Amino acid sequence: MRKIFLTFFYTGLSPKAPGTVGSFAALLLALVILNYFPIDTLFLLTILISVVAIKEINRYEKDTNTHDDKSIVIDEVVGQWLALCIASANPFQIILSFIYFRAFDIYKPSIIGRVDRDVKGGLGVVGDDLLAGMFAGICSAGSWKIYIEFIVPLII
């Protein structure tokens, strides 16, 4: 059961780009959730899954003596969901939140990289993705605001 959770229904076992595959699967599930429930529900699920993920990753790392195994993508799930919660849910922002999240998660600029390097255990694994999700959501919302305020008036 732990493997299903940590690999997000085995998407983390993808031979190529497991983080991107897990993030995309998270995006699809989030769209289904948002079709039936308000964005508050997705946010609360993000918090709940983050807490459970930290605990389960700590147990997994203790049992396997590894850190941040590439098949673990539940951290990408919570990061992607947080980006969506911040950005809102119009199609433009959904796409941007995915792109920004993957960029921040892959390149790990600034504090994201510091958390990834320096914080051990489940908190480090999940923490850098939560930060990447936060920054992705902010950048997506900011990009939307720039588009609405500056680009749309030029077109009209």
Per residue in 14-27, pLDDT (tens digit) is 999 999 999 999 99
What angle (nearest 5°) sits at the alpha carbon of residue 81, between those of residues 36 and 85? 75
CB 60 within 8 A of CB 6: yes
91-107 and 18-36 helices, crossing angle to 10° = 150
> What local confidence, expressed as pLDDT, does residue 122 receive?
97
Is residue 58's pLDDT more than 80? yes
C-alpha 54/C-alpha 60 separation (Å) is: 10
> What local confidence, expressed as pLDDT, does residue 36 receive?
97
Residue 109, classed as helix, strand or coil, is: coil
> What local confidence, expressed as pLDDT, does residue 67 receive?
86
C-alpha 131/C-alpha 153 separation (Å) is: 33
pLDDT digits (tens, 9 = 90+) for 77-119: 999 999 999 997 689 999 999 999 999 999 999 999 999 999 9
Residue given tokens 């609360």 in the structure block: 44
Instruction: State the pLDDT confidence band at 153, using cuts at 50, 70 and 90.
Output: confident
> What local confidence, expressed as pLDDT, does residue 95 receive?
95
> What local confidence, expressed as pLDDT, does residue 4 receive?
97
Instruction: Count CB atoms within 10 A of the CB of residue 69.
Output: 16
- Helix extents (H) in 65-120: 74-87, 91-107, 110-118
